[in-house]
A = this chain, B = another copy of it.
Amino acid sequence: MQTEPTIVDTPLTIAGKTFNSRLILGTGKYRNTEEMQAAIEASGCEMITVALRRIDFDDPKSRSILEDIDWSRYHILPNTAGCATAEEAIRVARLARSMGLSDWIKLEVIPDPKYLLPDPVGTLEAARVLVDEGFVVLPYINADPVLAKRLEEIGTATVMPLGSPIGSGQGLPDFRQIQIIIEQANVPVIVDAGIGAPSDAALAMELGADACLINTAIAQAKNPAGMARAMRLGIEAGRLAYLSGRIPKKPYASASSPLEGVVR
């Protein structure tokens, strides 16, 4: 008897690099290093993002986050969290590359500290400069299909729309614009903020997203390693459901047990 579904997935490919895991982890807000390491391990992730502004490039001793992770096992994705303008983000990205860290950059241009929503114009400006300089740019954006298309056109490696504000755990309360982004994209679409539980991650993948980036929902869970594994399963579930072809939503019921039987 057949014991496994015959569905074969292709790996996620970003800028020519392939990943078997479709879950990307952040490194902020863990209560301690042990919890972070256990969560990373349990998540099965292959790419981890690190805020460049938390690294003191002048003082090697302070580079704790870089030393806490075994970078031979994980692809590092530096990010520009904390940069309020295109200029800041560009400068930080260049510095990271010049230090030999990476030429990949998760681009965040976030002027507003309360809702942490990204600046569409500043993001596009910074992306243009960084793409021109040879960076592999993964921009964090509001769920704006026209902006996503423009970023793709200038050569970003992905687009990373938010599900809801960073750290809010609200999931994807309205996913229609994310659906449009997915429908129109020729680069991977990574849902990047707001995921609070595996059901949110599964939903993003069922819609056809290529990956999810998750930080707060794992780091701040009561049991980060447990939640990391739960997110891994949720993403696998959603991806497999996407490939398996879900039933349409119907306004009416539809009997699961058609009654051709004879017992009356």
Contact = CB atoms under 8 A, between A and B. Distances in A.
A111 B27 CA distance: 38
Nearest to A240: B230
A29 interface: yes
Contacts of A248: 169
A17 interface: no
Contacts of A28: 255-258
Contact of A253 (B115, B198, B237): B115
A157 interface: no
Give the oligomeric copy count. 4
Contacts of A41: 1-3
A133 interface: no
A261 interface: yes
Contact of A233 (B111, B164, B173, B236): B236
Nearest to A246: B197
Contacts of A113: 255
A245 B196 CA distance: 11
A220 interface: yes
A147 interface: yes
**Dominant SS among interface residues on chain A:** loop
A20 interface: no
A259 B116 CA distance: 13
A224 B2 CA distance: 12
A132 interface: no
Interface in A234-254: 234, 236-238, 240-241, 243-254
A28 to B, nearest CB: 4
Interface of A: 1-7, 26-29, 37-38, 41-42, 51-59, 62, 79, 81-82, 92, 95, 111-121, 124, 142, 144-147, 149-150, 164-171, 173-174, 176-177, 180, 193, 196-200, 202-203, 206, 215-217, 219-234, 236-238, 240-241, 243-263
Given A53-B261, A168-B254, 10 more contacts: A2-B38, A5-B38, A5-B225, A28-B256, A56-B261, A117-B253, A167-B255, A199-B206, A226-B244, A237-B237
